[in-house]
Amino acid sequence: MSASPPLLRRLGALGPLLMLLVLFALLGALVPDFLGLRNMRGLVLSVTLVGTIATTMMLVLALREVDLSVGSITALSGVLTAVVIARTGSVAAGILAGLAAGAAAGFLNGWVVARLKVNSLIVTLATMEIVRGLAFLVSGGQAVSIPAERFYALGSGTLFGINYPIWLMLLTFIGFGFLLKRTSFGRNVLAIGGNPEAARLAGVPVDRVRIAVFVLQGLVTALAGIVLAARITSGQPNTSQGLELAVISACVLGGVSLSGGVATMIGVVIGVFIMGAAQNALNLLDVPTFYQYVVRGGILLAAVIFDRLRQTGGLSLPTLLTRFTQKDRLAS
C-alpha cells in the first residue's frame, strides 16, 4: 500500500485504452482493409447490440450482481414485437409489447435477487431458460416475419448519415454514463456494489436500487432486441445465444470489477470496441466460426484473470514497479 507516483497511477488507469490502441494498430498492420472507412462503419454497426446492452450490464456488475438472461430477453422482445405487429398491424403496439416483456423479465430478476436474496447468477440462469422458452412458445419455434416496412427503418434508417442502431448505442453510452456519475442513483449503485451492508446502514434504499437496475437492464435489452428484429426484418427465437458472455466480457475488459463498486462508462466503451475489433478481424481473416468460439472464450478468460490481478494489485504498472524496487531493497 505504498503511495506511488500519480503519473504511474494514471498510466495504470489507462490500461484498457492502451490495449485498444495497440490492438487497432496491430490489426491495422496485419489485417488488410481493417482500418478502411467502410470496415470501420461495419465494425461500429456490429457492436451496437453488445454496446447498447453493456451500458446497463455495467450497472448490474457494479452492483456486484450479474445478468445472464440478456440473450434470451433480446430474442423474446424481438419475437413478441414481430408477433404483435403481425396480429394487430400496429408498430407502436408491437414495440410496447416488446419493451413490456423486457421490463417484466428484468423486474422478476430484480425482485427475486433483492427481496428473496437469491444469488443473481442462479436467478438469471433460470430466467435465461424461461425467457428463451417463452420466445419459442410465442413464435411457435419459427422465425416470425414482420409485415410492416416502416418498422424496418428502425434498423436501417439513418440520421446525419449514421444508422439508428448506432445513435441508440451512443445515446445509451451518454445517458448511462451520466446516470452512473452524476446522479444519486448511479452513486448508490456503486456504493451498494462496494459494500452492501455499509450502504444499507447509511440509508441507501438497497432493494429499490437493485430492482430498478434489473428493470433498466430488461428495458434496454428489449430495446436492443427490437432494433435487432428491425435489422433482420423478423423475430428470431433462437437469436443472440451466448450474447450475455460477449456483453460481460466487454464490461470486464473495460475495467468494470466483478466484485462490484468499480465501473466507468468510458472503460465499457473501450471494452466494447476491443471485443468488436477482435470479432471483426476474425471475420476479415475468414477464421471459421468454431475457432471464433475459442477466441471469444479466451478473451473472456483473459478479462476475468485481468480483473482478478487488478484487484490484488498484481498487474498495474505502479505495483509491479514497487514490487521490483522492494525486492531490490531486500537484496541490498
Partner 1 sequence: MSALIAYQGVGKVFPGVVALDGVSFSVADGEVRALMGENGAGKSTLLKILAGEHRPDSGGLLVEGRPVAFASPRDSQAAGIAIIHQELHLAPDLSVTENLLLGMMPTRFGVIDAHAARERARAILARLGEDIDPDARVRTLSIGKRQMIEIGKALARDARIIAFDEPTSSLSARETRTLMRIIDDLRRDGRAILYVSHRMEEVFEISDSVTVLRDGRHVADYPDMKALTQDQLITAMAGRTITDIYDYRARPLGDVAVAVSRLEGPGLRAPLSFEARRGEILGFFGLVGAGRSELFRLIYGAVPSTGGDVLIHGEPLVSADPRRAIAAGLALCPEDRKDEGIVPLAAVAENIALARRNLLGRPLIDERDEGTQAADLIQLMRVKTASPATAIATLSGGNQQKAIIARWLAADSRILLMDEPTRGIDVGARSEIYAHMYRLAEEGRTILFASSDMPEVMGVADRIIVMREGRVAGIVPRADATPDRLLRLALPDASTGQS
The C-alpha torsion from 81 through 82 and 84 to 85, rounded to 10°, is 110
Of 156 and 183, nearer to partner 1 (C-beta) is 183
Grid cell listed for 109: 430478476
Q: Smallest Cα–Cα separation from 139: which of 89, 87, 82, 93?
A: 82
Which residues 93-132 are close enough to bind partner 1 by CB under 8 A? Answer: none
Of 200 and 308, nearer to partner 1 (C-beta) is 200
Q: How far is the CB of 179 from partner 1 (least distance, A)?
A: 10
Q: How far is the CB of 106 from partner 1 (least distance, A)?
A: 20
Q: Smallest Cα–Cα separation from 67: which of 167, 176, 214?
A: 214
Which residues 222-261 are close enough to bind partner 1 by CB under 8 A? Answer: 261
Q: How far is the CB of 1 from partner 1 (least distance, A)?
A: 6
In Å, how far from its chain's centre is CA 173? Answer: 11
Give the angle 232-237-241 at the CA atoms, nearest 5°: 90
Tell which one of 123, 229, 262, 300 touches partner 1 (CB under 8 A): 262
Query: Does residue 229 sit in helix, strand or coil?
Result: helix
Tell which one of 167, 205, 245, 317 touches partner 1 (CB under 8 A): 205
Using the Cα atoms of residue 23, residue 29, residue 32 and residue 35 in order, give the sign of their dihedral: positive
Of 158 and 311, nearer to partner 1 (C-beta) is 311
Q: How far is the CB of 52 from partner 1 (least distance, A)?
A: 23
Using the Cα atoms of residue 158, residue 164, residue 166 and residue 168 in order, give the sign of their dihedral: positive
Q: How far is the CB of 206 from partner 1 (least distance, A)?
A: 10
Rule CB under 8 A: say whether 1 interacts with partner 1: yes
Q: How far is the CB of 191 from partner 1 (least distance, A)?
A: 5
- In sequence order, the 6+-apart residues with CB closer than 8 A to the CB of 201 are none
Gyration radius of the chain's alpha carbons: 21
Q: Which whole-number Å values give the CA distances from 278 to 10, 65, 107, 157, 264, in the listed order?
A: 26, 26, 34, 27, 22
Rule CB under 8 A: say whether 161 interacts with partner 1: no
Of 1 and 330, nearer to partner 1 (C-beta) is 1
Of 58 and 85, nearer to partner 1 (C-beta) is 58
Residue 131: phi and psi, rounded to 5, are -70, -40
Distance CA 255, CA 310 (A): 9
Q: How far is the CB of 203 from partner 1 (least distance, A)?
A: 4
Tell which one of 87, 115, 182, 327 touches partner 1 (CB under 8 A): 182
Of 58 and 300, nearer to partner 1 (C-beta) is 58
- In sequence order, the 6+-apart residues with CB closer than 8 A to the CB of 258 are 61, 66, 252, 304, 307
Of 142 and 311, nearer to partner 1 (C-beta) is 311
Rule CB under 8 A: say whether 180 interacts with partner 1: no
Total binding residues toward partner 1, as defined by CB under 8 A:
23
Q: Smallest Cα–Cα separation from 265: which of 174, 192, 144, 177?
A: 177
Residues 241, 71 contacting (CB under 8 angstroms): yes
Of 33 and 197, nearer to partner 1 (C-beta) is 197
Which residues 184-203 are close enough to bind partner 1 by CB under 8 A? Answer: 184-185, 187-188, 190-191, 194-195, 197-203
Rule CB under 8 A: say whether 281 interacts with partner 1: no
Where along the sequence are the contacts to partner 1 (CB under 8 A)?
1, 3, 182-185, 187-188, 190-191, 194-195, 197-205, 261-262
